[in-house]
Structure 1
């Protein structure tokens, strides 16, 4: 058998990393249930007590996961990129061309997923991930500088200061206004339209609305910065050493807490400082984005310490298969979520309040935990991961465990 037709041998996984990815993925599902998969209707509960409970659930889950789960998922995307490049480099293989092809496949998966669910993010990862390839050889000190500049979100700062100084009208830009218009249009389609209507909208306008959201909220800057940080973690070899993971988690955790508290305090103090209109929206989003980085690192460091030092290994090992099958599970969340919440399905965005929506998300996460554990006991990869791997290498990849 030639080298080209030989099977790709499965590599050993780092379970703690898979557990972090699984945690992030479940947070994404719970957050999407609060957003009703982009159908952000505000439910009204007649009983005052249950209305307060409903509002509390919405605020709590947004506080816990909005901007944090995707941040963790993005950092781990950068780490996975480095691990793949490093693994192939140890065999004398230049993986850059193959990784570009892998991103092209991810773009296809993302577009297919996006036909059903407008808010899916794999297409965005695929586009921004291309920039990791030329950055792979850049010296560490320059990558650190670049990551800091990206996290500063300088265009957001310029926009915020301009709005405060009245250099521009204190109102949404044309790009933001058009994005809001698209989301208003899609809401009617997602509530009253058929599956074909949803797909027809998402063929182009839905994809454009998503790109506008990433652009208008300067999210592309943070995502690329997180990709780079993940790559730097891999370059430092932290993921390979239990001692290093404990050491750096202990070191970073108190700083992450202070960082998070400082920027969230600023974000929620802007209105008291007299900031209003579109400037308040831009400023609050910007400072919360800064704070989300700190909260994400609290999760990252805290869960790592739980795994290696504080008796959380058994629980986290149980959610690790969810992260190991992250592509399959993410796409499954999209497919099931729109059926539950959209009008062509169970119409949950209209029929369910936030508390009920959260319970739907919790149940679905439990199902994914059980299913993923069963699947990984019998197979090396999730179904989509296996297809992705076969198409990446264009040769046999074992699926069923012997």
Structure 2
């Protein structure tokens, strides 16, 4: 979720990945009817199952990868000391957190607050100079240490408190806007963090952020053409691993009220590892396609990536009122296929709209507002005819 910065600080393939991620997030949100789907009697369709298998959980990880990558870009373009950078970066994340809180009043599944909080861990990770140690930290996060502890405790017959993921959105169907906002503020916020912790998403996102930092330091995206053979092997291995994990996940019975904690946590661990492996496949598949004639098509996602924050908020602002009961109540009149078609149309429209907007402006509206607030400077140039910020301006590089 970024805006446009100076051309020298942007990496088109990363913007393209971010554009792909924000488009995929919207497709998943539409299949979930922005959470309303889970409060209705439902039967999974082939379309929805495909969308969830390919994108759910993976697109947020890609966003976290880009987040970590941009952290390094910001640090390299700032001409300040380490301490000053930490304060400025934390201030920027605080603003993002505030945007997320406001967004969360409308849509309980907001991810901005989560990215902002986990983003603080990058300040600690950045102190690790050794690439191998930094990579090890990322892999430890992706291996889901909390779930491993719970599984180990279950195998050792050590009792642990029973934890159940509760993240319902019943008010999306029948509640008023006031009731929805109140519930999102008072109960959904802590339930979201409970979900993020118990589902493994917190460690997953942290791991991918740190991997983004690793990739930025090694210039992996900028020099992708030079390690093509390597990532083709990794891509092939990732595909086999993803299929194997998916089959293993399907062999474990769905968790229920009487499911032993060991079975429940083991299934959740496999699901997390599947998401990680599938994310590797998506990222490397995108990089591989970028090095072919498909780059001409994928480059259309670059403007979307530069305006990801604007589109993320705009999608909720438009479709939550359309879908939820306090608005048009479309949740009762559209199915998974209708939602997918609608999402694809919107993705095409936002791709065209982003390209048109960035012909005249350097940033998306919210990207500009974020930068202006972070710099405490409302005169930050937005239109392209304005003079570009000077090299070294910390605020011109985005972090999402």
| Global fold match (TM > 0.5) | yes
Q: Cα distance, 1:160 vs. partner?
A: 3.0
Backbone CA RMSD of aligned residues: 2.4
- Structure 2: state its 5+ residue gaps: 386-400
For the residue of structure 2 that corresponds to 1:385, the secondary structure is helix
TM-score (norm. length: structure 1): 0.86
Checking the alignment, whether the CA contact within 8 Å between 2:58 and 2:278 is kept in structure 1 is: yes
Q: How many residues align?
A: 374
Correspondence list, 1:270-309, <5 A: 270-271=252-253, 276-308=259-291
Checking the alignment, whether the CA contact within 8 Å between 1:322 and 1:368 is kept in structure 2 is: yes
Match for residue 33 of structure 1?
Answer: 30
Q: Report whether the alignment pairs 1:59 with 2:49.
A: yes
Checking the alignment, whether the CA contact within 8 Å between 2:94 and 2:116 is kept in structure 1 is: yes
Checking the alignment, whether the CA contact within 8 Å between 1:29 and 1:361 is kept in structure 2 is: yes
Alpha carbons of 1:98 and 1:11: their partners in 2 closer, same or farther (altered >3 Å)? farther
CA distance in 1, matches of 2:50, 2:280: 18
C-alpha deviations, 1:32-51, integer Å up to 9, x for none? 1121111114566xxxxxx8
For the residue of structure 2 that corresponds to 1:95, the secondary structure is helix
C-alpha deviations, 1:97-140, integer Å up to 9, x for none? 21111100110011011111000100011111111112212122
Match of 2:21 among 20, 24, 27: 24
For the residue of structure 2 that corresponds to 1:268, the secondary structure is helix
Match for residue 130 of structure 1?
Answer: 120
CA distance in 2, matches of 1:26, 1:375: 17
Match for residue 382 of structure 1?
Answer: 364
Q: Report whether the alignment pairs 1:110 with 2:100.
A: yes
Q: Report whether the alignment pairs 1:158 with 2:140.
A: no
CA distance in 2, matches of 1:373, 1:230: 26
Checking the alignment, whether the CA contact within 8 Å between 2:5 and 2:362 is kept in structure 1 is: no
For the residue of structure 1 that corresponds to 2:351, the secondary structure is helix
For the residue of structure 1 that corresponds to 2:172, the secondary structure is helix
- Larger CA deviation: 285-294 vs 239-248: 239-248
For the residue of structure 2 that corresponds to 1:401, the secondary structure is coil
Match for residue 396 of structure 2?
Answer: none
- Structure 1: state its 5+ residue gaps: 1-7, 45-50
CA distance in 1, matches of 2:41, 2:49: 13
Match of 1:143 among 102, 116, 134: 134
Q: Report whether the alignment pairs 1:234 with 2:216.
A: yes
Checking the alignment, whether the CA contact within 8 Å between 2:200 and 2:272 is kept in structure 1 is: no
TM-score (norm. length: structure 2): 0.87
CA distance in 1, matches of 2:123, 2:226: 26
Match for residue 318 of structure 1?
Answer: 300
Alpha carbons of 1:344 and 1:291: their partners in 2 closer, same or farther (altered >3 Å)? same
CA distance in 2, matches of 1:244, 1:390: 38
CA distance in 1, matches of 2:5, 2:342: 38
Q: Which protein, 1 or 2, shows the higher relative CO under an 8 Å CA cutoff with sep ≥ 6?
A: 2
Q: Cα distance, 1:68 vs. partner?
A: 0.9
Checking the alignment, whether the CA contact within 8 Å between 1:328 and 1:382 is kept in structure 2 is: yes
Correspondence list, 1:1-400, <5 A: 10-12=6-8, 13-39=10-36, 40-42=38-40, 55-88=45-78, 95-139=85-129, 140-163=131-154, 167-168=158-159, 174-176=162-164, 179-180=165-166, 183-184=167-168, 186-187=169-170, 189-244=171-226, 246=228, 248-271=230-253, 276-308=259-291, 310-395=292-377, 396-400=379-383
CA distance in 1, matches of 2:280, 2:324: 34
Q: Cα distance, 1:57 vs. partner?
A: 1.0
